[in-house]
């Protein structure tokens, strides 16, 4: 039974890896470089360098979890029902 679940997860994991590769490639093409990543006060943040300027962007942990759950449901073809 374990093998069935593992095989079912391989395709979504490969899809995520491909998406991340494309995002990194796009960032490199646009001249964006991540210089620092971390967590503070309930959010994940990244400092990045773009066209000579240093900026910081963050996302709240709850928002990131919700988006990750939505994307995982899409990859697994599961319909999320929100009440």
Confidence of residue 57 (pLDDT cuts 50, 70, 90): very high
Q: Please give the pLDDT value at position 83.
A: 64
Flag whether 83 is in a domain: no
Q: Which of 19, 45, 50, 56 is nearest to 33 (CA)?
A: 50
Domain range holding 49? Answer: 2-75
Flag whether 71 is in a domain: yes
Flag whether 22 is in a domain: yes
User: Contact at 8 Å (CB) between 33 and 49?
Assistant: yes
What is the number of structural domains in the chain?
1
Give this prediction's pTM: 0.70
**Enclosing H/E stretch for 74:** helix 61-75
Q: Is the model's pLDDT at 8 over the cut of 80?
A: no
Range of lowest pLDDT (1-5, 38-42, 77-81): 1-5
Q: Please give the pLDDT value at position 53.
A: 94
Flag whether 63 is in a domain: yes
Q: How many percent of the chain have pLDDT more than 70?
A: 98
């Amino acid at each position: 039974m374990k093998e069935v679940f593992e095989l079912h997860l391989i395709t979504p994991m490969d899809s995520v890896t491909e998406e991340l590769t494309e995002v990194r490639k796009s960032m490199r093409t646009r001249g964006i470089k991540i210089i620092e990543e971390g967590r503070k006060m309930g959010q994940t943040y990244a400092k990045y360098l773009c066209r000579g300027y240093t900026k910081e962007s963050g996302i709240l942990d709850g928002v990131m979890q919700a988006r990750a759950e939505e994307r995982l449901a899409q990859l697994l073809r599961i319909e999320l029902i929100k009440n």
